[in-house]
Amino acid sequence: MLDFKQNYFELFGLPVAFDVDGQALAERYRELHRVVHPDRYASAGERERRLSMQGATLLNEAFQTLKDPLRRAQYLLRLRGAPEAPAGGQVAPDFLMQQMALREELAEIRGGAEPLEAAGAFLVRVRALVVAEVGALSRHFAARGPDALVHAQEAAARLQFLRRLQEEAEALEADLEDVP
């Protein structure tokens, strides 16, 4: 069974760091999943079945958290004792202005010429911004210094904004693909 007191990184035998070996994470997940899978405990006692179910739930939550850069950053911030960010996070005014401009652009895509092509190009740009923010998170978590955690927290907030924008753009693109 799993040690329920371990943090998610310890659970998978990984160093507590933002940069995670995705292949090692997936392999360890499969190994642990075989150990705690409820089917293995179908004929076991009530306590073992319950522990198996709790272990499978913990394992799935840990895996989903560590494989996703935003969730992993938020988890690492909690582990490192960063104060809880206010809803929406703390972002600089220039970033908010950029977000407003991007949202206006997204809103205008449907009514423009070649909306599907415009949505695709918009998504490429937003995905590049997401990748850049994930890179910033990696640098901030690797940095040592009094402001490293604050910068990581700010980058996580920006990534959260960008992820929402990306989801909205993907939904628009899917919507436009369905139009005959």
41-66: pLDDT as tens digits? 777 788 887 888 888 899 999 999 99
| Structure confidence by residue, pLDDT tens digits, 119-130 | 999 999 999 999
Please tell me whether residues 59 and 103 are part of one structural domain.
no
Q: What is the mean pLDDT of residues 77-101?
A: 83
Residue 145 falls within a domain, yes or no?
Answer: yes
Pair 97, 62 in one domain:
no
Tell me, yes or no, whether 109 and 59 share the same domain.
no
List Cα–Cα distances, 118 to 3, 12, 58, 172, 179, in angstroms.
Answer: 49, 42, 41, 11, 15
Looking at residue 46, its pLDDT comes to: 84
Residue 36: the pLDDT is 82
- Domain range for 168: 93-177
Mean pLDDT of 97-107: 96
Same domain, 112 and 163: yes
